Each structure stands twice: as C-alpha cells, then as structure tokens.
Structure 1
C-alpha cells in the first residue's frame, strides 16, 4: 500500500525541522500524533527513517533518499493548492539557462518574460555550444539551447526551431554585387565579415547555395553576431546572418539581401536538458513556454 499524502507531509516536516516537537508545531498537530504518523510510515516502508537523539532526530540513509524524492513534488502540490484553482501555479524556483547570446537576447528572453511575473527566477549563461553542453552535463545549468544536436547519452534533446540564413551587405557593396550579375564571382572580390576564422555560417551558405567553399579568408573576424551585423551595416563587407538578427535592418533599407535561393539554408536549434530525474515545475514551465512559442517560429 502506498503511503498517504498526510504521512509523507508529516515525514517531510520532521525531516526539515529535525525535531518531532517543531514539526508538530509547524503542522498544528500534537507531538503524539506526529510520532504515530511517523511510526506508521516506517512500518509501511519496512525501514526506519530517523535516528532518535536526546534532542531531535536525524534522518537515516533511507530517510534522506525519501526526502529527496518527495520534497519537490509535495512542494509543487502545495503551491498549486495555495494558488487556488483559478490562479496560475507559482513558479517559485531558479532555472539556470544557457544559450548563444544573440538568440537568447532576441528570442528566448522575450518568450520567458511572462513566467518571471509568476515567480520564476532566471540565471542565464551565454556562451558557445561546447561550453554550455559541458555545463549542462556537470549540473551547472538546467537547460541549454544548442545549434548542433548533441550526441552524448543522458540528454533529452527537443527540436526548438529553425533559423534561416540570409546573405546581406550594405551599400556600396550591394550595388556592386547586383551589377556584376554573377553573385558568387562578385562576392569573391568582396570582404567577408565572419563570426570565426573557420567561417562556419558563411561556409555553410556557400556550400549549400553555390556548391563551393568560400574563395577567400575573412577580412574581419569578431565572435559576436551583433558585432558582425554592425560591421556589415557600416559597409565593411558582406556576411551571412540569421534572418531574425538582421530583419529590422533589411526592412529599413540599411541592408540588402544579395541573393534569394529557392531553398534558403536553415539551421535547427535544440532545447537540451538532462534525462533521468523529473525536472522541477519551474524548469518544466520554461521548456513548455519555449517549445510552445518558438517551435512555430522561423526567420
């Protein structure tokens, strides 16, 4: 027979207070009632949960394990009941979230703003995919947005959204490329502004659209896509950027799309968490919110 919720609540109060007397006060019960409920639970589970001391109690190994398993679900249930049936559940708790700076800034933070009003606390780590994945595996972050699907075991990987890459430049480069007719040939004579020396985004665009590698090294390398965007808008050369990042500049005429292939290159972003133990209510809410808002988004 599974223990009742009342017995588990009493056990958790004793575990947190370290005293039958203080637990009884916290629960508005008599100490004999608390003692009787604790004895019943121990009998049902077939093992002692506490060691009695002259002043208070300390949990056994079985007691510690039980407390770890039930504390969060019972707290979530209490939060639901305290909030009332007509109010959204409280999201009290801290979620450590990692992701690339540009995408987190432009898409993730706006999507999560409403959860903060419900009590969510966010601690955000910005960085590159490998560093963030190591932090996730080490338990330093709860969730991370990855631009490449991880292959390690022990992870839960969910497709989040697709980002579309666009080839852009400002004047006078845009006019020169348009006048040349052959886009690839004109770009071979145009400075490249890149995110990294390996030209990861530019190389992918060239290989997908033009079926060749970029013909030259980057003129400017800066490991931040906002800085790449600023350099391109200022006229330093051309680049390939996620569409969401440069949409406003294109609409305002500060950038021109140099080429519109029939199938624009896409990159899938993934929401990654550790598999195994069920996530907290706050982590689950962040997952559901991001998936609900961003899975239907593409730019």
Structure 2
C-alpha cells in the first residue's frame, strides 16, 4: 500500500474535509480526491461518506485511521527531525491573542529558546480565537493559544490557565460613584460612566455584567481600541471604566493608577487552551514548547 495515499487518507480523516486536507498537504483538492478514490479502489471499500460540508469516515475508514495514524506520525517525526536533529535549528510557529501571547507566552518561550540543547527559532502571530484555530488547522501554526476549545478530529487541546477579569477605573471615577453605591444599586450605579473596550459589542463588559450582575450593559463604548493594553492605558488616563484581566492591570492596581470598582464573591474567569494538530506533538521542538508552556502556566493561574 502506498504510504503517500495513507498519509493523505489520515489527513482527510483528521481534517474532515478534502479541501482542508489539501491545504495541509500542499495539494489541490482534486488531487486529494483522486488519491482517496485510488485507496478505496485498492481496498475495495468506501472510506468516507461524502456530505454537503466535508466528509464522515465509514466504520472501515475509522478502523484504518486508528491503525495507521500512529505509525505515520512516527515516520513524519523521523522525516522532520532527521538522524541528527541537534545539528539544525527548528522553527516553532505560535499564534494567539496579542496581549496574552505578548505578556505571558512569549517571555516563557524566549527563555526556553536560549537553553542549551533546547533551542529553536520562534515566530509569533496574533489573532482572535477563530483566526488562530483556522490557521492552526491549515498548517500555518504549530501551536495556538485560544479562548475557544477546538472541536473535531484535526486538533487537540489542553486547558492552559484561567484568567480572572476585574472591573477597574481611574480613582476619580470610583470617588464619583461612591463606595456604597455599587453594593446598593448594582449595575445601575455604573450607567453614567464612560466605557473603554476592545470592540463595539463590548465583549468583556458584557461578559462581566452577565456573570456578576445577571444583566446586560445599557451603555455603549466611549473609547474602542482593539488591544487590551491600549484599553488599560486609556483607563489609566481616566477615559472610563473597563473590564481587564487581572494579570494585565496588576501593576497599575498596585501603583494606584487604577482601582477595582467591585470585588464579586465569584470573579468572572476565562479559560485559555493550548491547541495543536493531532500528531504534531511527536515533533521534539513542538513537544518541548507545549510542555514548557504548560509548566509556565502553573504560575499564571
């Protein structure tokens, strides 16, 4: 049996689509279709059921994938690393949200790249959860940090850490609403305060309001900037209230540049996941980075 056909078959099985598998393999979609048909003719059995969106493996297809995939992954590892993997510097492509990647993941990984015997080149790109997972599935990234847990057979993920969200503003806004108003009135005490956010839909504020106040914000954004670090800068300068990750605003809280407006009994949390394509964690440089990020994340929670 042709190993190239098996590799194409396993990629289609994981991707759930001829089109996505073609992108991962660097082939055309008709070439992938032709290879799968050739393999099905050789076996005398259908391996996939064609559907309007993608394909679903048959029972025979599932059985073949589970038998063949581990061996193909091992062969890919040998081909990727070579017989002397210490002689070459591998490149790790990481994607994730800009603030978390810049403040958490990159400092951890750049420490690893300098370690003797652990070195690899690092390339990073930023994007939202949908963009990073699509890029990971298409083979543009090796690892992706995302707030959305990927689904399907192509990607695997592990929970990395939880991020606590806090409601903050410059001190003069806290003085304006008074220390007891928020406890007595809840969300209505904040209705006249300007809001700083990353998007017009107020994703952070809306999530906080739903979790803490069991309501929706009735205000609109006064300042919209698509980066949480910029949101913090605007909040520090007095532009309005904001909901931010605690790790990001902790120094400003400590220095008194911003203050916490509310301390709920159960603070809102957001989980980050570390995702990779199935089979790629057999590659040493990806496995090292994956393990290193998980260990570093133990200090981020």
- What TM-score, normalized by structure 1, do the two folds share? 0.70
> Which of 109, 113, 123 matches 2:110?
113
Query: Residue 96 of structure 1 corresponds to which residue in structure 2?
Result: 93
CA contact 1:177–1:258 (8 Å) conserved in 2: no
Structure 2 residue 163 is matched with structure 1 residue 163: yes
Query: Residue 174 of structure 1 corresponds to which residue in structure 2?
Result: 174
Map 1:229-244 to 2 at 5 A: 229-244=232-247
Aligned length: 223
CA contact 1:168–1:239 (8 Å) conserved in 2: yes
Q: CA deviation at 1:120?
A: 1.3
Query: Residue 286 of structure 1 corresponds to which residue in structure 2?
Result: 289
The runs of 5 or more residues in structure 1 that have no matched partner are 1-64, 81-89
Structure 2 residue 69 is matched with structure 1 residue 72: no
Q: Distance in 2 between matches of 1:143 and 1:278?
A: 9
Change (3 A) 1:181 1:66: closer
Query: Residue 261 of structure 1 corresponds to which residue in structure 2?
Result: 264
Map 1:80-229 to 2 at 5 A: 92-118=89-115, 119-179=119-179, 181-182=181-182, 183-229=186-232
**RMSD of aligned alpha carbons:** 2.1
Q: CA deviation at 1:111?
A: 1.1
Structure number with greater Rg is: 1
Q: Distance in 2 between matches of 1:292 and 1:208?
A: 29
Q: Distance in 2 between matches of 1:122 and 1:236?
A: 36
Which aligned runs of 4 or more in structure 1 are off by greater than 4 angstroms?
Answer: 65-69
Query: Residue 29 of structure 1 corresponds to which residue in structure 2?
Result: none
Q: CA deviation at 1:113?
A: 2.2
Q: Distance in 2 between matches of 1:191 and 1:91?
A: 53
Q: CA deviation at 1:68?
A: 4.7
CA contact 1:170–1:254 (8 Å) conserved in 2: yes
Change (3 A) 1:94 1:217: same
- What TM-score, normalized by structure 2, do the two folds share? 0.69
Task: Answer with 131-140 or 65-74: which moved more.
Answer: 65-74
Q: CA deviation at 1:128?
A: 1.3
Q: Secondary structure at the match of 1:132?
A: helix
CA contact 2:156–2:275 (8 Å) conserved in 1: yes
Q: Secondary structure at the match of 2:110?
A: helix
Q: Distance in 2 between matches of 1:199 and 1:213?
A: 10
